Chain A
Amino acid sequence: MSPLPIHHKPSGSDAGESLWADVLDSVILIVDDDELHCQLIAIILRQDGFKNLHFASDGREALQQAGDLIPDMIILDILMPNIDGLEVCRQLREMGQFKNTPIIAHTIKNSPEERAEIYDAGATDIFPKPVSEREVQNRVYMHLKYTRMVKGLTQYHRRLTRDLEEARSMQYALLPALSRLNEISESHGVEIACHSESSDELGGDFWGIDTLDEDRILIYIVDFSGHGVSAALNTFRLHSLITSYLKSEHIKNRYLTKNIESLNRDLFGLLPVEQYATLLCGVIDVKKDSFLYVSASSTAPLILSSDTGEVTRLDPTGFPLGMIEDATYVEHAVPFKKGELLFLYSDVLTESLDQKGRMIGEAYFVDICQSANAHLAEGQNFLDRLLKSFDMLVVRPLKDDLTAATLKRL
């Protein structure tokens, strides 16, 4: 028998064509104790091009066939010997693998109460007997298409989640290794602490640290505008750029601004108009007791003194990276003595909302830092203390990645 023209077949797109072909491959189990009814439905479905049709003549056989075939759809008579359709429906729904399978009751039971009972048992839809050809064709197609689409979306969602998790762990891999931090602490007489926490979305934060020579340490923190995949991809771009600049002689020869200006030019060429990065890059000199830094619109770095309890906010003004092609930057030099702690952090610390829905803001954040610094218990780390205060203040989940690093001169 040649197939009839298919009135509801989607047209005009390859996706539609392939979905249709996919739907026709569906395994359909038709259950009825009256073989004539089974054959009627089968004839209608074969006309549409369905080939994978299977049959069962009572409830017990239906459950067994379902378990063997794992059908994509079950068309189920209700009044049957042994186990009736309602019970079959209930049992199938209790098995995890049939949780979302379309089950269509094919029945003469058609009163509102009976229909309600059928839906309560877990049926997706009802075909009233006697059978209507067009109705069967349209609804079978609709249900199969719908379940395919949901399945597709679920798979897509699962894949995306897995990819994002992988990307997140790759971002973590950009962060300094603990062993390296220990080496730097040892060789330069400093104590380094850091904390990284990712939000639901991929963010664009990272920080890094390395030694330039026996007296100097280079430290930086970056935050890309925006979130998500593009920000995350850009963090990798910037990270590789920064690493290559770190190896350049310019940095070693104390031309911090020149390096940032080249970095800015490189990024300007790479990034779309609305994207940019903020950066704080500085050099700690333990011999000269100084901190030399360049800011590209970073959060304000803080220097906290453990002796006086004083907090100094450093000026973060400067063009963000990648915004203006020939931006120039200013180098600031501030004293950074033994006993002082340098604090770099991402903007989520100042831009999060407190329990009452108010933004923390920079001024209040500096107060929190001051208080955390003043109330340090013996041996307690400033960053731990601060993050505890922050945790008590904010409502989670955080809207952006949290990156924070401290470096204390011993």
Chain B
Amino acid sequence: MKYQIDITEDIFEARLSEKITFSDLDDFRELVRHMVTSRSNSNIVDLSDVEFIDSAGLGMLLLVRDEISKTSSHLTLKSPQGQVMRMFTVARFDQMFDIVQG
């Protein structure tokens, strides 16, 4: 997994790319720390360039959700594609996350 962070005004946006798997756990925890410390009102995880996510990857998104829920800010998952979208559908992530396309 690779990621790039953009913080503008009150928006924290992380653009993830490549694959999100078990081996990215440490990077992901660091990303969550950045997100929480930025104290932005709106947090966006852009998944449009993520080609694959495994079960551990889904777990990491739950970690973000949990951390953000402890603050008063909002979390959005943006543009999941292909296999990522299919994983979201099967795991009913639409019921747990605010997911937007485009």
Q: B91 to chain A: which residues have CB within 8 Å?
A: 297, 319-320, 323
Bound-state CA distance A362–B86 (Å) is 10
- Tell whether, in the assembled complex, residue B55 and residue A225 are in contact, meaning their CB atoms are under 8 Å apart: yes
Asked whether A276 and B59 contact (CB < 8 A) given A297-B91, A359-B52, the answer is yes
- Tell whether, in the assembled complex, residue B59 and residue A316 are in contact, meaning their CB atoms are under 8 Å apart: no
- Tell whether, in the assembled complex, residue B92 and residue A227 are in contact, meaning their CB atoms are under 8 Å apart: no
- Tell whether, in the assembled complex, residue B59 and residue A225 are in contact, meaning their CB atoms are under 8 Å apart: yes
Give chain B nearest CB distance to A302 CB in angstroms: 15
B37 at the A interface (CB under 8 A) = no
Bound-state CA distance A226–B66 (Å) is 18
User: Could you mark each residue 267-281 of chain A with 1 if its beta carbon is under 8 Å from any beta carbon of chain B, else 0?
Assistant: 000000111101000
Q: B58 to chain A: which residues have CB within 8 Å?
A: 225, 276, 320
User: Could you mark each residue 313-352 of chain A with 1 if its beta carbon is under 8 Å from any beta carbon of chain B, else 0?
Assistant: 0001111100110000000000000000000000100010
A223 at the B interface (CB under 8 A) = yes
B3 at the A interface (CB under 8 A) = no
- Tell whether, in the assembled complex, residue B60 and residue A274 are in contact, meaning their CB atoms are under 8 Å apart: yes
Q: B56 to chain A: which residues have CB within 8 Å?
A: 225-227, 274
User: Could you mark each residue 218-245 of chain A with 1 if its beta carbon is under 8 Å from any beta carbon of chain B, else 0?
Assistant: 0000011111000000000000000000
Bound-state CA distance A320–B91 (Å) is 6
A81 at the B interface (CB under 8 A) = no
- Tell whether, in the assembled complex, residue B62 and residue A226 are in contact, meaning their CB atoms are under 8 Å apart: no
Give chain A nearest CB distance to B4 CB in angstroms: 22
- Tell whether, in the assembled complex, residue A273 and residue B63 are in contact, meaning their CB atoms are under 8 Å apart: yes
Q: B83 to chain A: which residues have CB within 8 Å?
A: 359, 361
- Tell whether, in the assembled complex, residue B62 and residue A323 are in contact, meaning their CB atoms are under 8 Å apart: yes
B89 at the A interface (CB under 8 A) = yes
- Tell whether, in the assembled complex, residue A223 and residue B55 are in contact, meaning their CB atoms are under 8 Å apart: yes
Bound-state CA distance A51–B63 (Å) is 55
User: Number of B residues contacting the other chain (C-beta, 8 Å)?
Assistant: 19
- Tell whether, in the assembled complex, residue A226 and residue B55 are in contact, meaning their CB atoms are under 8 Å apart: yes
Bound-state CA distance A225–B54 (Å) is 8
Give chain B nearest CB distance to A378 CB in angstroms: 37
Chain B residue nearest to A320 (CB atoms) is: B91
Bound-state CA distance A316–B89 (Å) is 10
Bound-state CA distance A295–B83 (Å) is 19
B101 at the A interface (CB under 8 A) = no
User: Could you mark each residue 67-81 of chain B with 1 if its beta carbon is under 8 Å from any beta carbon of chain A, else 0?
Assistant: 000000000000000
Bound-state CA distance A227–B22 (Å) is 8
Give chain A nearest CB distance to B75 CB in angstroms: 14
- Tell whether, in the assembled complex, residue B90 and residue A275 are in contact, meaning their CB atoms are under 8 Å apart: no
- Tell whether, in the assembled complex, residue A273 and residue B62 are in contact, meaning their CB atoms are under 8 Å apart: yes
Q: A297 to chain B: which residues have CB within 8 Å?
A: 90-92
- Tell whether, in the assembled complex, residue B59 and residue A274 are in contact, meaning their CB atoms are under 8 Å apart: yes
Give chain A nearest CB distance to B81 CB in angstroms: 13
Give chain A nearest CB distance to B57 CB in angstroms: 9
User: Could you mark each residue 23-63 of chain B with 1 if its beta carbon is under 8 Å from any beta carbon of chain A, else 0?
Assistant: 00000000000000000000000000000101110111011
Bound-state CA distance A278–B63 (Å) is 17
Give chain A nearest CB distance to B85 CB in angstroms: 13
B8 at the A interface (CB under 8 A) = no
Q: A225 to chain B: which residues have CB within 8 Å?
A: 55-56, 58-59
- Tell whether, in the assembled complex, residue B96 and residue A323 are in contact, meaning their CB atoms are under 8 Å apart: yes
Closest 4 CB pairs of A and B: A274-B59, A225-B55, A274-B63, A297-B91
Task: With A274-B59, A320-B55, A351-B54 given, name 17 new contacts (CB 8 A).
Answer: A225-B55, A226-B22, A226-B55, A274-B60, A275-B59, A276-B58, A276-B59, A278-B55, A297-B92, A317-B89, A317-B92, A318-B90, A318-B92, A323-B62, A323-B96, A351-B52, A359-B83
Q: A interface vs B, CB < 8 Å?
A: 223-227, 273-276, 278, 297, 316-320, 323-324, 347, 351, 359, 361-362
8 intermolecular pairs with C-beta atoms under 8 Å apart = A225-B55, A226-B22, A273-B62, A274-B56, A275-B59, A297-B91, A318-B92, A319-B91
